[in-house]
Amino acid sequence: MSYSSPLKFDYSPWLFWPSASEEEQRRQLQHQGELKETPGVSIGEQVFLSPHANIDPVEFHIGDNSYVAAHAYITDHVHLGANTTVNPFTVIRGKVRIGDAVRIGAHTSIIAFNHSMHPDEPVYRQKLTVKGITIGDDVWIGSNVTVLDGVTVGSHAVLAAGAIVTRDVADWSIVGGNPARHLRDRREVGAAKPAPLAARLADFGAMVRQDAPALIARCWDPARNGGLYADSPGAAPTVRAHCDAVELAELLLGTAPAQLTHAGHVARLQSLQDPVTGLVPEYCADGTPDAGPLAFGTGAATYHVLSVGYALDLLGSRFAHPIHAVAQMDAPGLVDALAKLPWQKNAWGAGAWIDAWGTASHWNLARGTGDRSPANALFGWLLGNASPSTGAWGDPAEGSLLQTVNGFYRLTRGTFAQFGLPIPYPGKLVDTVLGHSGDPRHFAPGRQNACNVLDVAHPLWLAGQQTGHRRQEVLAWAREQLDAALGHWVPGEGMPFSFAADGTAESLPGLQGTEMWLAIIWYLADLLGESEALGYRPRGVHRPEAAFKLATG
């Protein structure tokens, strides 16, 4: 005698009417009869409703030959057509109308309401908004799909497993990804499969999202000063590691890292800021903030303007105080400081200084405490001092464009890119960057590091918004580096900063390498027109959109 699970029909309800006993059918009809006593409920013929599903509606209709499996959760106003199936652990709430012959995979959420997000009170106290969701006939919804309020899904569509559907889906459309995008038309019989690169990127994106909780958790030390993040297990805790953890969690999971509450992350990062200078110190070896003097342009505090500021921004917050060290600098003082930066010997350092200054100015202006005059003076100086022969700043060192190109990235990230302004001489810049991109010292297989590849990928992407100069060469380089990068993911651990297998800390997977390479992979994929396949888009330090529009009036 073969074993038969007592929950067989609850989890495989399509088996119920062909094989259930008379007594099982009687109990099912009795269960349906009790539910039909609720006003607004109608149930068709040959329907199965698992007693282990929570159906608690205001109005509920389910058509003939449809079923609801175990642990589904259905509330509010829900209409399900004939031959429509709701598989285990599916959630359907709000004002939802679903047509005939719709298949809904397990663990799917169809949520037809939303919270308001006004900043004057907590979200849980705010009113709900309801637009409703409509899903047509003959729709296949894969497992773990989320459909958000206001969406209409056309008939004959397919929502691929894991899709986050935020906008309408046309009839016959196959969509997938986060946010879901059109992949092809279902009527294209024998149509070619997605391009191999798009498929690789989709698989990579799914893999890194799955690994995200583990790779963040492995870098958390709960025993050190109330819990701190390090770049990798056994390394010293750093402020940047905490910020990288926030960036990765928001990028891949859409939430704050699980090691602290959302409020706990905000409080921890805000508490590090020195109220006098507005700067953030590094941790000491014991995990306490360094109490030494802070100066803009010196040490880790300069980069923390970027990393802590954007981590707080991703958490929906901001620095508790203005960046006074920058706010106190007037236009003449800024121009004098710019002229004294080490453009000949250390163009990267000069660019990093400007990157941090521009970002501090952004935070100050965004909170309404900054003076626009120094920022306007900054762009005036940069435009006046850009080289027409290279499209960059700083003199190339003999035999190397590394400082020039890397300095260009840092400088423009915090200025032209961050404020949404066009760069000068984009064609010349492409020539300069492509000239550097073939240097085997930095880009031969196994010699790449995140800094050098990002500092080429982003300038090429930025210039590409203004010019198609040498486009095919740009695409060839992007594809070569993308192929290399996709092969360096370490399951559960992420990516190393450097691909050189030399046993150094930079060659071990860590938070910084992972955060930077995921941004690099997005930029390379976007250059190739395939970034949507990844299912993520940078939103922090490496965001592609401008963070602040610098008004001229």
The catalytic residues are 118
Give the separation between CA 491 and CA 213, rounded to whole angstroms: 12
Our CA angle for 343, 349, 355, nearest 5°, is: 105
Give the separation between CA 417 and CA 428, rounded to whole angstroms: 18
Give the separation between CA 91 and CA 74, rounded to whole angstroms: 6
Q: Considering Cα of 17, then 23, then 29, then 35, what sign does the dihedral take?
A: negative
CB 294 within 8 A of CB 281: yes
CB 227 within 8 A of CB 260: yes
CB 147 within 8 A of CB 166: no
DSSP 43-77: E-TT-EE-TTSEEEEEEEEE-TT-EE-TT-EEEEE
What amino acid is encoded at 536 in this protein? Y
DSSP 220-248: EETTSTT-EEBSSTTSPB-HHHHHHHHHH
Q: What does the block give as tokens for 66?
A: 């449809």
CB 350 within 8 A of CB 403: no
Residue in this structure with the two tokens 């009113």, named with its chain if needed: 127
DSSP 263-300: HHHHHHHHHTS-TTT---PPB-TTSSBP-S---TTSSH
Comparing C-alpha atoms, which of 328, 335, 383, 389 is closest to residue 361?
A: 328
Q: What three-state secondary structure class fits 86?
A: strand
Identify any residues that bridge with 510 across adjacent strands, giving them in sequence order.
Answer: 495
Phi, psi angles (nearest 5°) of residue 150:
90, -5
